[in-house]
Amino acid sequence: MNTPEVSVIIPVYNEEDGLQALYGRLYPALDALNTSYEVIFVNDGSRDRSAALLREQWEKRPDVTRVILLAANAGQHMAIMAGFEKCRGQIVVTLDADLQNPPEEIGKLVAKMREGYDCVGSIRQNRRDSAFRRYASQAMNRLRERITHIKMTDQGCMLRAYARPLIDAINSCHEVNTFIPALAYTLAQNPTEIEVAHEERHTGESKYSLYSLIRLNFDLMTNFSVVPLQAFSMTGIIISLLSAFFVVFLVIRRLMVGPEAEGMFTLFGIAFFLIGLTLFGVGMLGEYVGRIYQQVRHRPRYIIGAVLER
């Protein structure tokens, strides 16, 4: 089979209203590159007509289009991993299907990859998201950089390019839960970033709810660092020392001043704080243990129902 220079992987989940607009911009943008390419759509268990529309597009352009139909929803990053395992290009680009990242920007990433970089990230200019999402993203970027030492200016932008050796390295990792941009950064030898345009969603709403974003950031923190556990251990040590000094203080005060009923609510407040901290620590530990449990079960990360290709 011919090896194209560029592979574009697009996860699709309930995007039937915007797929025609995506086709109308994606293929002309790739034709303008004047190079060989392939487009891999990964249907992530969509419940609308996305799979049927993807099949129609494959029938129109079977020379450059491939479609992977997952049997069930596996999540955006697992859908991209399925595309990684099937792609053949020397430069692999990931792109969301909602047109917030214009397909016309792919050329910028390809040009940068040709300069010798093995991973090209992107920074969204003039983000069209809500103010809450922008500020929350900035806060998580700073927190992630402090905890994992992974320096990505815009971790939420999935318009990225990867070299073939880096894709092979990512495919050799069999993590059940992962965050692809961070994983690529840890394996890359010569990464860089460029600025790209950002637009409003063509139609519909974001598939990431607040809960999904929280879960995604938990995956990012716990998969690439043990700093949360270490921070909690240090906090526990400090509070234990402070508690010991406080107990000594109470004993001395009782001997010198006598019992004091008014201090009861202070003790309750301290007790509730320590109980809350303990529960938080147990939950944090549970996150790590839960990921170990998922990993050792060796269940498939996703199940491919069918692959449409020529």
pLDDT tens column, 13-58: 999 999 999 999 999 999 999 999 999 999 999 999 999 999 999 9
Q: What is the pLDDT of residue 32?
A: 96
Residue with tokens 């996150």: 287
Sign of CA dihedral 226, 228, 233, 234: positive
Integer-rounded Cα radius of gyration of the chain: 24
Q: Calculate ∠ Cα 191-197-203, nearest 5°.
A: 120
- SS (HEC) of 199-252: CCCCCCCCCCCHHHHHHHHHHHHHHHCCHHHHHHHHHHHHHHHHHHHHHHHHHH
Fold category of 6-207+300-308 in CATH? Spore Coat Polysaccharide Biosynthesis Protein SpsA; Chain A (3.90.550)
Residue 228 near residue 221 (C-beta atoms within 8 A): yes
Q: Furthest-apart CA pair in the chain: how many Å?
A: 90
Please report the pLDDT score of residue 262 as a whole number: 61
pLDDT lower than 50: segments of the chain = none
Using an 8 Å Cβ cutoff, are 117 and 192 in contact? yes
Global pTM reads: 0.77
Supply the pLDDT for residue 295: 82
Q: Are 142 and 153 in contact (CB under 8 A)?
A: no
pLDDT given at position 13:
94
User: Which residues are bridge partners to 9 per DSSP?
Assistant: 40, 94
